[in-house]
Structure 1
């Protein structure tokens, strides 16, 4: 029995072996970059505050990169530089705070310590006593000569009906009454009266309820400037006999448009006038005595008596 012939096998083709793809290191590189930036910024005053954001972020990204085994060297660099930056920034801020506190203590100590140069010598004290006696004698003579005039000036003026005319208060400002026309900045204003109080403004379907009572103040406003402007009702404050101040009610102004409320959204052209009302939400037992209109940051308010 013969064996079958053995044919040689053809050589197997060889294919190029590709190396495995490199592991992604984006997270580790980001940690390293953030850590280096945080470390550099930690040495710069004021800007070092950014280190408290970048440093912890670098540490977190570095730890995540180590856990996922992606870029061990870059991850460790990010963790070390980020943590070191936070440490240096913290020390810097502590030193800066200590310097500020030390400066405040020195200034307070200087205020408490008496000034040595201000201490008087015995000779200067005697001279000042002599000068003081002379000044007292001169003041006494002036008081004797001006006493009558001073008493006359202290006497309040009286009007035709014998009523005392109130003088301006210590903080200044102008005083007016209902019906007087006065100027506030570029506005010419006249308070014409006070209408009846009510607990609601509007109709049965579209209204607002007062916390206490709405008191309507009737007025006429004229734009005395040279350009169109919006009337600002927030400058008006109602004051009662207990010196309580009440701001105008924007809700009542909105719902009371049909009742003549002045709209703060209407632009008034130069020379034009509008007539209407401002509503103030006040307690039912409040007696409003006057209005105060703010004339500006450096100016005393204008007062209008409502009695």
Structure 2
């Protein structure tokens, strides 16, 4: 008796084709860039655009059915985190360097409560420097030569000051560190453009060797109605400021 015959086994079913998710891949790449740029000061503003873009791509990647969603989820998360980091850095930088040149009077009052007051002509010490105010001019409208002049938005207050390095090594005097305060307690920064236009002002920044004295002029652009009350000198980042009464 012959052995029974059997039909051949059917071939195995083909493996399902794995379908990618291009939207998810795009979201992942853009989100990664947003996250990386977010940690870089100033350049991080790019993340303000990349972050939302990654979120949009990621949402589309999540909506599409039957596609892997891992990269879409990761891209969406990185885009959101990158945007938040960039926003945090930008706000911090703005708080440190930006804003209006005149701060609130309450902050200034709190700052100067413990600052010693001396009159114009007296020498005061702060940090690495000794300051002596020799002259104050108000109501100045223009500074500079015929080749380059700067015009005040209000009026220029020009404070002539002798700055002596009382430290043991060369130090840089920064004009931006010195503040003019009016009768209302508003605090003003020096005008860099006016300092550059005025020859020999030495009011922007100046390298001073130990024992040497530089004669400089600090120029403040303030409203015409402002009367300067005193100037706050700061000789170093960690030095206590000193206040000199101008009027």
Q: Normalising by structure 1, what TM-score?
A: 0.46
Cα deviations by residue, 1:230-270 (Å, 9 ceiling, x for unpaired): 2111221112222222211111101002xx41143432122
- Structure 2 distance, partners of 1:83, 1:59, is 13
Partner of 1:197, secondary structure, is: strand
**Richer in helix (by share):** 1
Q: CA deviation at 1:228?
A: 1.7
Pick one of 115, 120, 126 that aligns with 1:173.
115
Cα deviations by residue, 1:184-205 (Å, 9 ceiling, x for unpaired): 1111111112135320111233
Q: CA deviation at 1:53?
A: 4.8
Using a 3 Å threshold, how does the CA distance of structure 1 residues 174 and 239 change in structure 2: closer, same or farther?
same
| Contact map agreement 1:55 1:82 (CA 8 A) in 2 | no
Q: Which has the higher contact order (CA 8 A, sep 6+)?
A: 2
Q: CA deviation at 1:85?
A: 6.1
2:158 counterpart residue number: 216
- Structure 2 distance, partners of 1:275, 1:179, is 14
1:286 counterpart residue number: 226
1:235 counterpart residue number: 177
| Contact map agreement 1:59 1:83 (CA 8 A) in 2 | no
| Contact map agreement 1:214 1:280 (CA 8 A) in 2 | yes
1:254 matched to 2:196? The reply is yes
**Richer in strand (by share):** 2
2:215 counterpart residue number: 275
- Structure 2 distance, partners of 1:283, 1:170, is 22
Larger Rg: 1
Cα deviations by residue, 1:30-82 (Å, 9 ceiling, x for unpaired): 859959x99xxxxxxxxxxx9x959957976xx8xxxxxxxxxxxx9xx5222
Q: CA deviation at 1:305?
A: 0.7
Stretches of structure 1 lacking an aligned partner (at least 5 in a row):
1-24, 39-49, 64-75, 94-168
Length, aligned pairs only:
173
Using a 3 Å threshold, how does the CA distance of structure 1 residues 276 and 81 change in structure 2: closer, same or farther?
same
| Contact map agreement 2:20 2:68 (CA 8 A) in 1 | no
Using a 3 Å threshold, how does the CA distance of structure 1 residues 54 and 261 change in structure 2: closer, same or farther?
closer
Partner of 2:68, secondary structure, is: helix
Pick one of 51, 55, 73 that aligns with 1:86.
73
- Structure 2 distance, partners of 1:245, 1:266, is 23
Q: Normalising by structure 2, what TM-score?
A: 0.56
| Contact map agreement 1:201 1:252 (CA 8 A) in 2 | yes
Alignment of 1:108-147 (within 5 A): none
Cα deviations by residue, 1:195-225 (Å, 9 ceiling, x for unpaired): 3532011123310100111111011001122
Aligned CA RMSD, in angstroms, stands at 4.2
1:206 counterpart residue number: 148
